[in-house]
């Protein structure tokens, strides 16, 4: 599963792990990505979305119809 949110567009961030001796090694900060099923009444079907925790809260606030409209406006297929 790719680590990006379909609604908010959040992707992994990159940085360094710094040890006690101050050596730096690469690391990756992944967003909290989860797969969720939502019923889409306008199309009479379920949709499966890959969302971050913030994206799930956004869907709860604006509703699934508005969220799918935003996702399609970003050019992603639902």
Global pTM? 0.85
pLDDT profile of the chain (78 residues), mean per 10: 89 97 97 96 96 97 97 93
- Residues 42 and 52: their CA atoms lie apart, in Å, by 24
Record the tokens describing residue 43, joined without a space. Answer: 């199309």
* Residues in the chain, total: 78
CA trace torsion 43, 9, 11, 60 (10° rounding): -60
Chain-centroid distance of CA 26 in Å reads 23
pLDDT of residue 2: 80
Per the structure block, which two tokens stand in for 49? 């979305």
| CA pair distance 39, 13, nearest whole angstrom | 31
């Amino acid at each position: 599963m790719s680590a990006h949110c379909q609604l908010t567009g959040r992707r992994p961030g990159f940085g360094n792990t710094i040890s006690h001796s101050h050596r730096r090694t690469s690391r990756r900060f992944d967003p909290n990505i989860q797969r969720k099923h939502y019923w889409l009444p306008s199309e009479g079907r379920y949709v499966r979305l890959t969302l971050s925790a913030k994206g799930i809260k956004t869907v709860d606030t604006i509703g699934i119809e508005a969220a799918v409209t935003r996702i399609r406006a970003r050019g992603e297929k639902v």
